[in-house]
Amino acid sequence: MEKQQFLHPKVSLAHFFHYRSSSVFVVFVGLVVLFSFFSHRRFISGGNLQILLALGSEFNIVVLGVGILMISGEFDLSVGSIVVFCSFIFIRLFEMGMNLFLAGLITLGVGAILGWLNGLITVKGQIPSFVATLGTMMLWRGMTLLLSQGFSRSFDVMASPTFSRVLTGVIGGVVPVQIVWFAGLALALGLILHFHRFGNWIYATGDNKNAARAMGIKTDRVKTICFILVGVLCALVAMMQIVRVSTFSSRVADGWELKAVAASVVGGTSLMGGIGSMVGVVLGTLIISAIENGLVVLRIPYFWTYTVFGLVIVLSVLFSRYVEARKLKHISKPSETSPGET
């Protein structure tokens, strides 16, 4: 709850509900209670939460970007491929013996360029981002496979202990750094999305592009920046993953593209753009990671994960549609009849 209070400092539960995250929150709490109860609280034990958040943060960070991009009205199906391509670039730079911080910067740069390319193809080529990024998804995964010949490569964590600690360390022996990255990025991006004027442009672009353009917002640039953001986040996650498992594998992040879209949608983001919130996206992706982890804690075979994913996706969206429909009915009445109440 603290986080929501912070993101919406002015008030109140009402404001929070206003941001369409209410139903997501209900689903999230329901899942946590369910998992905790049936796992005899193993689910909420410190050890498990540490695992859940440290592992989950990699995917979660990508979802932050995908969610914002979806609010601006675009898709990115190439996230998994950007992650794997950036991993390859990073491991090659490491093998060349480059200073890791410099290599990290270059990797982030590559991520930004791949994101920018997605934006360029979508915006200048005037083709739907769904198709554009479906193409780049195949392109970058294929390129990585061609370049790496499908072999894994190993990474030495001790090459730069500082670098490793920055990405995958544990603060005070308890808190994995990944969580800090995730929370920090969520907070920063949340502030920008909800309180910075650029955030307003993102919403306007996704909600009514023509209106935004008529009001002088450079919608193409807004979208491209969102694509670049996704690329940079993917590059960051690529490095985190390599440092954590100390290997490069060309299968990394396979299947993330649809999972990330699912997480955003479960978090209340609209596929059509213009609707969504940072709180919702965070909760949505936490729901997805919680399911993955919770089933393991409950000792349910991993096979079930996908079935539960499927159910949760469909049911949560149906649920939020229902809540939405009721809320709209509820709001629209008083607004027409009670004038002048400031």
Partner 1 sequence: MGVILTVSKKQSSLLKLVSFRAANTVIVFVVLMLVFTFFTRNRVFLSSRNMGLLSKLAPDLGIIALGIGILMICGEFDLSVASIVAVCAYVFVLLLKGGTSLFLIAIITLGLGAALGLLNGLITVKGGIPSFIATLGMMMFWRGILYVSSRMWPIGIRAYLPAGTSFEQIFVGRMGGVIPAQAVWFVGLAAILGVLLHFHKFGNWVYATGDNREAARAMGINTDWVKIGCFMIVGILCAFVAILQLLRLGSFCCTQGQGFELKAIAASVVGGTFLTGGIGSVVGIFLGALTIQIMENGLILMGIPVFGIGAFIGLAIILFVILNSYVERKRIS
Partner 2 sequence: MKADSIGESRGVLVKMVNIHKWFGKVHALKGVDFEVKHSEIVGLVGDNGAGKSTLIKVLSGVYLAEEGEIFFEGRRANITSPGDARKLGIETVYQEQALAPNMSISRNIFMGREPTKALGFMDKKAMDKASMEALRNIRLDVASPDLLITVLSGGQRQGVAIARVLHFEAKLVIMDEPTIALSIKEAHQVLEFIKQLREENISVIFITHNLYHVFPVAERFVILGSGEKIADVEKKDTSIDHLTELIVREPSRL
Contacts with partner 1, residue ranges (CB under 8 A): 77, 121, 125-128, 130-132, 134-143, 145-146, 149-150, 258, 261-262, 265, 271-272, 301, 303-314, 317-318, 321
Q: Which of 204, 243, 286, 295 binds partner 2 (CB under 8 A)?
A: 204
Task: Please list every residue from 21 through 50 that binds partner 2, using CB under 8 A.
Answer: none
Q: Is 331 in the site for partner 2 (CB under 8 A)?
A: yes
DSSP assigned state of 274: S
Shortest distance (Å) from residue 195 CB to partner 1: 29
Sorted by sequence, the CB contacts under 8 Å of residue 93 that are 6+ apart come out as 102, 103, 106, 107
Closest Cα partner for 35 from 312, 323, 266, 278?
312
Closer CB to partner 1, residue 216 or residue 303? 303
Tokens of 28: 């999230």
Shortest distance (Å) from residue 132 CB to partner 1: 6
Q: Which does 195 bind (CB under 5 to 8 A by kind): partner 2, partner 1, none?
A: partner 2
Shortest distance (Å) from residue 37 CB to partner 1: 22
What are the CB-based long-range contacts (under 8 Å, 24+) for 192-196? 193/68, 193/71, 193/277, 193/278, 194/7, 194/277, 194/278
Query: Token pair 């209670």 is at which residue?
Result: 33
Which amino acid is present at 172?
G
Task: Please list every residue from 229 through 248 that binds partner 2, using CB under 8 A.
Answer: none
Sorted by sequence, the CB contacts under 8 Å of residue 327 that are 6+ apart come out as 17
Closer CB to partner 1, residue 43 or residue 140? 140
Q: Is 207 in the site for partner 2 (CB under 8 A)?
A: yes
Taking the CA atoms of 222, 236, 58 and 140 in sequence, report the sign of the dihedral they define.
Answer: positive
The rounded radius of gyration (Å) of the Cα atoms in the chain is 20
Say how far apart CA 14 and CA 151 lie, in whole Å: 53
Query: Token pair 């059509």 is at which residue?
Result: 272
Shortest distance (Å) from residue 207 CB to partner 2: 3
Q: Is 16 in the site for partner 2 (CB under 8 A)?
A: no
Q: Which does 211 bind (CB under 5 to 8 A by kind): partner 2, partner 1, none?
A: partner 2
Q: Is 187 in the site for partner 2 (CB under 8 A)?
A: no
Site residues for partner 2 per CB under 8 A:
10, 15, 18, 191, 195-198, 200-201, 203-204, 207-208, 210-212, 214-217, 270, 274-275, 328, 331-332, 334-336, 338-342
